[in-house]
Structure 1
Amino acid sequence: MTVGGSLDAALGVQQIALAVHIMAMVVSLGAILLIDWVGLLWLLGRRQIHEPGRVESAAVLLIWGGLGMLLLSGAFISPDLSDTPTRVKLACVLVLMLNGVAIAPVMKRLHEMPASTKFSQLSLGLRARMLMALSISQACWWSAVVIGLLNSAIRRGP
């Protein structure tokens, strides 16, 4: 957080960093949406339990690499760290990263279950944990995206 507030990048560097930031967001969020979509299809009984995990294992580099690029490029777009929405956005990014780490054991546990396992067959606690992680992920991602877009529009003016 302090790195972004202390860097004073030239306008050209800021523009390149913003383009990288947007591309990294598209890559990371796109991968998350795909995993969540396949997970929803499993929840509805249209996919087997292992399919979301397979998609996740294929997309893990896109997710974490994109998040890393978001953090790096974000430092060069001169964020206003005194701005409350910017702080909320950064908090959302932190929460979604912690959520991603916290859900990893659940994904491993699901992968160990028989392929025919249905969502309704999981324990209530496991179902609740999965739905909570999904809700946190989507809320944090979309909050960060909307705040970022609004901040960008406000900073650049009409």
Structure 2
Amino acid sequence: MAANEQSLRRIPAFRFAVPAALAVTLVWGGAIAATLWVRPPAGIQLTAQFGHLLALCAGFGAVLVIDTCGLLFLTGRQGAAQTMRVVSAADPVVWLGYAGLVVTGALLEPDLDSPLTWLKLAAVLVTGLNGIHARLLTRELAALPGDPSFGGLSRAQRVRLLLSGTASQAAWWTAILVGFWHNQAASVA
């Protein structure tokens, strides 16, 4: 088990979740505020787009690995212990990708007058907040004795896992597709 997972387990859920959710929300809001007052230097747009694409590949790629392992766990093809090992390894990559997307997204000068932009921004916030919930779930499952199957979890744990996985995919895909559609509309105009 990774040292960061051991130290995370010692922190009561409330003491981790509230500051983490506040940090995600403040960074998200700060990135939006930065777009209002900071103009990136000329020529940075292409670099920011490339960085945004790299961060998307890293973050969403790691999410797909985690969610695929979750699906294997759900269907009984993989145990909780193996799933937790993969989640522990991929989680930092998700957060690095997420942070990269927030920073480079601010440099892309989003159109804050567009409802599509706000839909994407809301999906980005949901992604971050759900990531905190998923981390708490991971900690809870890692603390269970033995190697329980999905069916061996409590009903509440099963529901939370299903809702978290669904929210993860819905928020990531919403942000990706809205960003793509909005970019296509802007390039045509």
Specify the TM-score bucket, using the shorter chain as the normaliser. over 0.9
Contact 1:27 1:62 (8 Å CA) reproduced: yes
Unmatched 5+ residue regions in structure 1? Answer: none
> For residues 117 and 42 of structure 2, what CA distance do their matches in structure 1 show?
20
> For residues 146 and 78 of structure 2, what CA distance do their matches in structure 1 show?
9
Contact 1:49 1:110 (8 Å CA) reproduced: yes
Quote the residue 2:164 is aligned against: 133
Q: Normalising by structure 1, what TM-score?
A: 0.93
Match of 1:3 among 20, 30, 34: 34
Deviates more, 1:130-139 or 1:56-65: 56-65
Structure 1 moving runs of 4+ over 3 Å = none
Paired residues for 1:1-158 under 5 Å: 1-10=32-41, 12-157=43-188
SS at match of 1:90: helix
Q: Deviations over 1:37-67 (max 9, x none)?
A: 0111111111111222211211122111111
Q: Normalising by structure 2, what TM-score?
A: 0.79
SS at match of 1:146: helix
> For residues 48 and 37 of structure 2, what CA distance do their matches in structure 1 show?
15
> For residues 147 and 92 of structure 1, what CA distance do their matches in structure 2 show?
9
Contact 1:93 1:140 (8 Å CA) reproduced: yes
Amino acid at match of 1:126: Q
RMSD, aligned α-carbons: 1.5
Q: Between Structure 1 and Structure 2, how many residues are aligned?
A: 158
